[in-house]
A = this chain, B = another copy of it.
Amino acid sequence: MLTDQQILRIPGPTPIPPVVQRAMNKPMIGHRSEETSALLKGVRPRLQKVFGVSEEVAIIASSGTGGMETAFVNAVHPEEEVLVAVTGAFGDRFSQICEAHGAKTHRLDIEWGHAVTAKEITDYVQSHPEIRAIFITQCETSTGVLNPIQEIAQAVRSISDALIIIDGVSSIGGTPIEMDHWGVDIVVTGSQKAFMLPAGLAFVACNKRAWERIETNKRPTFYFDLKKYRQNIEKNTTPFTPASSLLYGLEETLVLFDREGLENIYKRHQLMMKMVRAAMKALQLPLLANDEHASPTVTAVHPTQFKAADFRKVLQQEFNLIVAGGQQHLANEIFRIGHMGYCSPADVLQTISAIEIGLQKMGQDIQLGSGTAAAQQVYLEEGINK
């Protein structure tokens, strides 16, 4: 097999664009230097645009989980009750964070593979008016479900002033978020998904309503204190040592976002999702999420004729093609194809055609090329270059 080639199609980290990789190789600069200030100054408005928010976005040297904890410790006052919509492993993690800090945590558990609906949230909040913050995962990476955030935010706004706090780790940059327009209060994401960077940066965006709540919060915190990040970013600096190479990369990622255009990026992700789903259907492979709530960044497939874990091994052996397994109770049951960030329709075709060979190797009686043809048909009907 060709050595030193890995085809990485997991839902993050995604491959890194060459221009971003080169940028990250630049020599270190002082983190209190003019160069760092100039870099941050250029990054700020571009980041706001991605989140659709008029307030500053905090850049924290941390993984996405640190960003989620940041949202909690800043926005939720001591003694406040919270609701977590748990649609999979990452909703579960959100609830663990709330519980670790001793908050009274209401879990709204949804069957894995399904989205939470606006009605389920509002019904719960109406019967528990003491809830002051609602945590929802936008894209539930573990199941490939995209929860309908805009709809939920709109519905919640009309019945409660609870903050709406979104885990957007595997969605932001690949699917729209309009914080100001939708009335979403806090959104968290990480660098290693649709931002096409290595992990190591968390982004936490807050709207005006969230800031009002944050400013009067007495919960103790230090490294994750958002007020420090805001005070500093307004002066084009950071409260603590920034991860400079990741900032170099971020600068280039945001240039790439501008060059392709956010709308086009979202269309590309929609297209790739539809291509993957059409191919899996043509190959008789059941999808975990339904079409209505499918994520544009990751697709979970639940084969019934063979173990997903065995299939993943075959793809790795044949092509060094890496797709993800499942998490928790779905660990060996599903496989997940990442199609986010630095991934093109041509990459999706490659993945599908390799999967077809993998299915044959697993003894599945499929028609070679039929999944590819279904994806090609989608491309031709919806192609971004039409």
A residues apposed to B, CB below 8 Å: 1-5, 7, 17-20, 25, 256, 259-260, 264, 268, 317-319, 321, 342-347, 349-350, 352-354, 356-357, 360-361, 367-374, 376-377, 379-380, 383-385
- Min CB distance A226 to B, Å, is 32
Q: Is A344 a contact partner of B376 (Cβ separation < 8 A)? A: no
Given A318-B383, A367-B373, A369-B376, are A1 and B260 also a contact pair (CB < 8 Å)? yes
- 6 of the cross-chain contacts (CB-CB < 8 Å) are A1-B260, A5-B344, A7-B346, A319-B346, A347-B350, A357-B376
Residue of B nearest to A258 (CB): B3
- Across the interface, A357 reaches (CB within 8 A) one of B357, B369, B380, namely B380
Contact flag A18-B4 (CB < 8 Å), given A368-B377, A373-B369, A376-B368: yes
Question: In this complex, what residue of B is CB-closest to A279?
Answer: B369
Counting every copy of the chain, the complex holds 2
Q: How far is the CA of A346 from the CA of B2 in the complex (A)?
A: 10
User: How close is A61's CB to chain B, nearest CB, in angstroms?
Assistant: 24
* A346 engages B342 (CB within 8 Å): no
Measured CA separation A79–B193 after assembly (Å) = 67
A354 touches B360 (CB 8 A): no
Residues from chain B with Cβ under 8 Å of A368 in the complex: 369, 372-373, 376-377, 380
| Inter-subunit contact A372/B385 (CB<8 Å) | no
Return the contact of A350 from the options B19, B346, B379 (Cβ within 8 A): B346
- Closest Cβ neighbor of A256 among chain B residues: B3
Query: Whole-angstrom distance from the CB of A313 to the nearest CB of chain B?
Result: 12
CA gap between A129 and B19 in the complex, in Å: 57
Q: Given the complex of chains A and B, what is the CA–CA distance between A132 and B268 in angstroms?
A: 61
A4 partner residues in chain B, CB cutoff 8 A: 17-20, 256, 342
A353 partner residues in chain B, CB cutoff 8 A: 346, 349-350, 352-353, 372, 376
Nearest B residue (CB) for A6: B18
**CB within 8 A of A343: which of B2, B18, B264, B268?**
B2
Residue of A20, A260, A354, A371 with most chain B CB atoms under a 10 A cut-off: A354
A256 to B256, CA, bound (A): 32
Contacts of A256 in B (CB 8 A): 3-4
Q: How far is the CA of A164 from the CA of B225 in the complex (A)?
A: 75
Question: Once bound together, how far apart are the Cα atoms of A369 and B5, in whole Å?
Answer: 25
A371: chain B residues within 8 A (beta carbon): 369
Q: Is the Cβ of B367 less than 8 Å from the Cβ of A379?
A: no
| Residues of the B chain whose Cβ atoms lie less than 8 Å from the Cβ of A321 | 346
Q: Would you give the shortest CB distance from A370 to chain B, in whole angstroms?
A: 6
Q: B379 to A357, Cβ gap below 8 A? A: yes
Q: Which residues on the B side are within 8 Å of A384 (C-beta)?
A: 1
A385 touches B342 (CB 8 A): no
Q: Is the CB of B376 within 8 A of A3?
A: no
Using A25-B25, A369-B376, A380-B357 as known contacts, say yes or no to A385 and B344 having CB atoms under 8 A apart.
no
Q: Within 8 Å CB of A346, what residues of B? A: 7, 319, 321, 350, 353-354
CB-defined contacts of A317 to chain B, threshold 8 Å? 385
Extra 17 A-B pairs, beta carbons < 8 Å, given A1-B264, A368-B373: A2-B260, A2-B343, A3-B17, A4-B20, A4-B342, A25-B25, A317-B385, A318-B385, A319-B345, A321-B346, A346-B350, A346-B353, A349-B353, A352-B353, A360-B380, A361-B380, A372-B372
